[in-house]
Amino acid sequence: MPDITDQRFTPHDHRRCIKAAVAEATRICNERNGRLTEQRKRVLELVWGSHQPIGAYTILEQLRSEGFNGAPPTVYRALEFLLDHGLIHRIESLNAYTGCSHPGDEHTGQFLICSRCHEVTELDDPAVSRAITHSSASIGFAATHQVIEIRGLCSHCQALPHDQ
């Protein structure tokens, strides 16, 4: 999949991100014998519709407006499938979801969250993950899952006047 991480904080056509994400999801699901149903595919498209994290109920509302029949458990099952296949991430502090820019690769993510425009970009810096694993082990803690969320301002928002 083309690396789209560097595009997140710059204006661009999200349709390219969606198309690339769906193509990669299709490939990964075919390799793993996972069923990328139309509803799961549409949920993935909605998650990739912008680089702002999206909540399950917002996804549900959008699906209903498009004629999909669904209840919250249906959306949560689709999100769980996408999470299990490494196609999306959950931004825990926001209780929302964002697309994975490195789907199919085993990795821990570090997420940069712009406090102004709310866009999220994913970093995958193995040195950060190793440092956490090493520091944890040095005090006898076995880290099994890492999610790092970093808040600040993206370069676009830094350039805006402070009152906007």
Question: Could you tell me how many helices (H) and strands (E) the chain has, helices first?
Answer: 6, 5
User: What residue ranges define each of the domains in the chain, with the CATH number in brackets?
Assistant: 5-154 (1.10.10.10)
Which pLDDT belongs to residue 107? 78
Which pLDDT belongs to residue 2? 37
C-alpha separations of 2 from 18, 20, 106 in Å: 12, 7, 17
Mean pLDDT by 10 residues, the chain (164 residues): 45 81 94 93 94 93 89 93 94 93 81 92 89 95 90 93 73
**Tokens 């999801």 sit on residue:** 25
**Adjacent-strand bridge partners of 48:** none
